[in-house]
Amino acid sequence: MMHEKTILLVEDNRADEVLTLRALKKANVANQVIVARDGVEALERLFSPADGRIAERLPELILLDLKLPKIDGHEVLRRIRADERTRLLPVVILTTSVEEQDRFDGYRLGANSYVRKPVDFAEFAEAVTQLGLYWLVLNEQPPAGGKG
C-alpha cells in the first residue's frame, strides 16, 4: 500500500539528489521518488504543460529546494497553493538557506515544513529519515475529495 505513495524531489544539485536518495534508502523509505531538476519540470509533474490539466497521479509529498533554475522554489510553491487541486499537497522546503526572509516567505506561501540541509551527512540522513517517517507514515493526508 505504501508503494503507491510517491515523493516528488525538486533538486537541481546532482550530489544533493544522490545524497537525499541515499538517505531515504537508509531510512527504509521504499516509496517511488520522482526527481525534478528545476521549477518548470516540477510544475510539469503536477500540471500538464499543454492544457494545464492535473497529473493523473499526484505525489504524496513534495521535497522542495528553493534555489532552482528557471522558476525558483518560492514560485513553484505559490503556484501549487494557488491551484484548488494541489492546494492541500504537503510541501516540505528542504534547502541550504536559513535566511529569515526565505523562511518567512516559505511559510507565508504555505509550506508545511522548512528544513535546513545540514552539512554533516549523518545529521542530514537523520533529518530525511524523520521527514519520511513523519509525512509518509505518521501524518494523515487530507481526504481526497476535500475541496475545502
Partner 1 sequence: MSGAVLIVDDSLTVRMSLLELLNAAGLQSEACSTIAEARQALATSNYALVVLDVLLPDGDGVELLQEIRAMPAAEGTAVMMLSTETEVRDRVRGLTTGADEYVGKPYDPTYLVGRARELVRRSNDNAAQGEDTILLIDDSVTFREELKQTLQQAGYRVVIAVSGEEGLRLAANSRPSGVVVDGVLPGMDGATFIRRIRLDAALRGLPCFLLTGSEDRSAQLVALDAGADAFATKEENAGVILARISAMLRSAGEQSAVRATTSLLGPKKVLAVDDSETYLQQLAEALRAEGYDLILARSGEEALELLSVQQVDCVLLDLLMPGIGGRETCRRVKAVPAMRDIPVIMLTAVEDRDAMIQGLGAGADDYIAKSSDFDLVRARVLAQIRRKQFEDEHRTVREQLLRAEYEANKARTALETAEARATLAEELKLKNEELESFSYSVAHDLRAPLRAIDGFSLALLEDCEDKLSEDEKQNLHYVREAAQHMARLIDDLLALSRVTRGEFDRTETNITALAKDVIRRLKLSAPEREVAFVVANGLVASCDDRLLTIVFENLLGNAWKFTGKQEAACIEVGVTGDDPEVFFVRDNGVGFDMAYASKLFGMFQRLHSKIEFDGTGIGLVTVQRIIRRHGGRIWAEAAVGAGATFFFTLEGSRSRDVTLAADAPVVGQTRKDAAA
Residues that bind partner 1 (CB under 8 A): 13, 15-16, 19, 22, 66-67, 72-74, 96-99, 101-102, 105, 117-122, 124
How far apart are CB 105 and partner 1 at their closest, in Å?
7
Q: Kindly calculate the radius of gyration of the chain based on its CA atoms and give it in whole angstroms.
A: 14
Q: Which is nearer to partner 1, 44 or 72 (CB)?
A: 72
CB of 132 to partner 1, least distance (A): 17
Considering the complex, state which of residue 84 and residue 99 has its C-beta at the smaller distance from partner 1. Answer: 99
Nearer to partner 1, 107 or 121 (CB): 121
The residue count for the chain: 148
Q: What is the DSSP letter of 121?
A: H
Cβ nearer to partner 1, comparing 22 with 87: 22
Count helices and strands in the chain by DSSP H and E runs? 5, 5
**70 contact partners, CB below 8 Å, separation of at least 6:** 38, 39, 40
| CA 45/CA 76 separation, integer angstroms | 11
Minimum CB distance to partner 1, residue 40 (Å) = 14
